[in-house]
Structure 1
Amino acid sequence: MRYKIAFFGMVFCTLFLFLPPSLESGTLTSVFRVTDQPAAIVRGTSGSTLTVNISFGDVEVENWIRELQAPYPLLLVDMDWADRFPETVRQINEKNIPVGLLGNSGTAYEEEPALLADQLKRFETKFGAKPLWFRTMDERFPASLKKQLWEAEVNALGSTFIWSGGKVPPPQEGEIIAVPHHRHERVKLSALDSLSKGRTFRPLEDVLFSTTVKTKKIPE
């Protein structure tokens, strides 16, 4: 009997070490459980990653994509923009730059339930695969949209902070930085160099896939 108790005790300790419990349920969760409950990812645990929201721009964006070097930022792309600039889309595909879907405002998906399915289909046509990442224009994810994303197996991605130019904040571990490039809110792509001072940008997956990842619960 004592041997059995000792054996099960060793098993329990091993599981505890390699599968630590989530802390502050709803705030921290194991990265391997990210898809176990609907949540918008807003932060990882180490390093910094850059994401750029693109819904506007022609020559500037095309030239920036042409000169872009790895490690690449994650591009969140509006599908109307992608339809207008197929040559830039071709460059993104050729360079294998990671790309996700940039949607409308969160409320648009409550008003038009079929909108997400249409955008996912258009994205797959342009980029050859369903997006792994999805972000609304305002980073709001209502319950109905959350459910659709869950069923489509697409991750809701927010950000730690949005940089719209100006003073660059000090680095934070696990930060996901969002930079807007829209008609009415636009950071010049040449200004992104200032963000890299004091930071070494890493792919989003590297920042997220650590022991734990911070998430923001989506309100029902």
Structure 2
Amino acid sequence: MHAIVQLATRKWLEDNSKLERWKQQFVSNLRAAFPTGEYKNWAACQALYAHAKAAIGQQPKDELLIAEWATVLYRAAWFAERIGNITNAKILATKAMKARKKVLGQEDKDTLWSVAMVRLSYKLGGQWDDAEKLFVQVMETRKMKLGADHPDTLTSMANLASTYRNQGRWDDAEKLFVQVMETSKTKLGADHPSTLTSMANLAFTWKAQGRSVEAILLLK
């Protein structure tokens, strides 16, 4: 639709008190159609991505619909991060995070996933200090809300440990990776994929410290 036609249509809807209803319909339709950012959904995400970005300026007034709107932005941020568009991922994820904090609360699981997405965009953008603050926030909230041995909590701990490693804080990274590994062994089993991933993370941390013999033994 031409920009002038869009402007005229919007003005007519405003004058006739119908803009909010159509905004709500747009958000609901997009929420139902826009999938998660997994690779298998990329074609669908790409087809709807421009609409999702346009939704940034279409926040509804109703709180239930704000939650739907935030879901659209979160999924769009997920897709943007996966295709390497870190700037858009950060913008979309931050908007989703703020909206979810407001309507769902700081400890809601969807809010925490939004915080994690913002954190990831900081990490990929090289903003390690900002990433660390959000990693700590998510980890502590999940410990309190879900428990120290919950898989989501362990994921948060591993992400924080990776941030420490990228900052060159080897001792902090090692302590956290060891904790994740041991807890994963107890909670999930020694041969669980998440446990094996935690072992590999610890091994690569040792390797970066020059502890190659220990790293090789653990990788084996």
Instruction: Choose between structure 1 and 2: higher strand proportion.
Output: 1
Bigger-Rg structure (1/2): 2
Question: For this structure pair, what is the TM-score category when the shorter chain's length is used for normalisation?
Answer: under 0.3
RCO (CA 8 Å, sep 6+): is it higher in 1 or 2? 1
- Point out the structure with the larger helix share: 2
TM-score by length of 2: 0.25
Q: Output the TM-score relative to the length of structure 1.
A: 0.25
